[in-house]
Amino acid sequence: MSHIKTHSHPVASLFQSLAETVAKRIDARISAPGTARPTVDHPVADAASTIAGHIAAGEDVPPAPSTDLTAKHGAGIKDLWDCISLSAKILVARTAKDTEKAQQLEDDLRFSTCDPLWIEAITDYVEYFGLEGDKREIPYVRYQQMDDFVIDRLPKNARIALVGDWGTGTQDAVDLLEQVAKHNPDVLIHLGDIYYAATPDECQKYFLDIVDRVFDRGSGGVPTYTLCGNHDVYSGGVGYYGLLPKLNPAPPFAAEWAQKASYFALRSPRWQLLAMDTGLHDQDPFDVNTNVTYLDPQEEAWHLDKIRRFSEGGGRTILLSHHQLFSAFSAIGKGAINEKLQESWQKFQTAGGASGIAGWFWGHEHNLCVYEPFAGLEKGRCIGHGAIPSFLDPSPYQSLANIEPLPALVDDPAHPGKKLELGTSGPVYDHGFVILELDDAALTAKASYYQASQPDRPMFVEQL
């Protein structure tokens, strides 16, 4: 089985989007909705993924492809490598606002033996995304009134499906969503990241087309929501914000189901799922290794109002975001805790009271991490294992070094003495999803954690 490889770096992700666009143009075909991503095994995609890895690591692109790539695709990969690497250097120069270098490289590409579609695609990207430094401002939507973006449509005792980092368009993603559909959720919520850079084409083909087909939403069905992740703003947010009006259109859905912003409150009589936008401030190509994202201050005030008022009315809140509050396996700035989100979290605690906030689900890391109480949060859960593969080496469960304190995973009830971790299949860890079953009368919620290899039997169940 082939696996999509992505890199959490804006320029690398934009380059992978560009390379896939060229591959499709060269092949004169566009993938059909719901099929496996067509370019996973394509030589352009393979070479682009390798080059994107060097970009993400801040390394120079090697002058020739690796022996593995040559063995897989033949000697012709060398000429292709020259064209792809030259295109990558152009995109890096454009993003760095080095116009003189970019122009020189473009001349080299234009008058080389490379397929002219490369220069055509780069021109399209520069024109559309403004990579000279005038990239379009993210069309973030601000509320006008405190009751904006409150969706009071969940039925009593609703069943909610949660998936994170799922929008890849791969067959793995399709298979996982088909497993989710068998649980008959009332609502589907994606915790963010449509790959590679949430371009309009990617948002349509690798998210909406598949959701619509799997849930047969042509005449209604399951309302769907998606949070804003870092990949969703790598192309300026044009694809992500263009997707929102298409998610639950009226008709066939009732107008009240619409997602009008990147943050919202989805409510039943006694439960509130509060979705936050942590992607807005994680889109700069030049601080990817040091950036500590945060909530927009105006949005933070909106969330505080929702938590306080709902708690005062006797309701409970579950927080949702793309980025993590803390991690035992991925440094956030210089530590295990996002100190900026922690400041927001402390305010949320005060607003929600002792039992007003039941838990917090996030993605971003392509892993399942069910944490013991940490940083004042009783139940912090990373569920970013929707469709991006986490390889066994290096293990996503390798704890951070020289950082204390670190959060700990809960014990696996099926294997005493071991921590709860995903199963493995071949060279990668399993994908999975979460089903939340809300109980409005008892004010409890059951969270069941499934992995793709065992879709009918949860690997872990807990009560919030």
Ranges assigned E (strand) in 242-399: 264-267, 271-275, 316-320, 357-362, 368-370, 380-383
By CB atoms closer than 10 A (0-12, 13-18, 19+), residue 381 is: buried
> How far apart (Å, rounded) are the C-alpha atoms in residues 54 and 34?
30
> How far apart (Å, rounded) are the C-alpha atoms in residues 283 and 9?
9
Could you tell me the two tokens for 227? Answer: 């949070």
C-beta atoms surrounding 254 within 10 Å: 12
Taking residues 374-384, what's their average pLDDT? 97
H/E stretch holding 463 reads: strand 460-463
Could you tell me the two tokens for 208? Answer: 């909406």
pLDDT tens-digit readout, 70-79: 888 887 787 7
pLDDT tens-digit readout, 421-440: 999 977 889 999 999 999 99
Q: Nearest 10 degrees: CA dihedral of 290, 292, 296, 302?
A: 170
pLDDT tens-digit readout, 143-196: 999 999 999 999 999 999 999 999 988 889 999 999 999 999 999 999 999 987
CB-based burial, 51-89: b 16+ in 10 Å, e otherwise:
bbbbbbeeeebeeebeeebeeebeeebeebbbbbbbbbb
> How far apart (Å, rounded) are the C-alpha atoms in residues 69 and 84?
14
Report the percent of the chain where pLDDT is more than 90: 58
The pTM of the full predicted model, rounded to 2 decimals, is 0.83
pLDDT tens-digit readout, 35-84: 444 445 677 777 888 888 888 788 888 888 888 888 888 877 877 788 78
Determine the Cα angle at 304 with ends 300 and 307, to 5°.
135
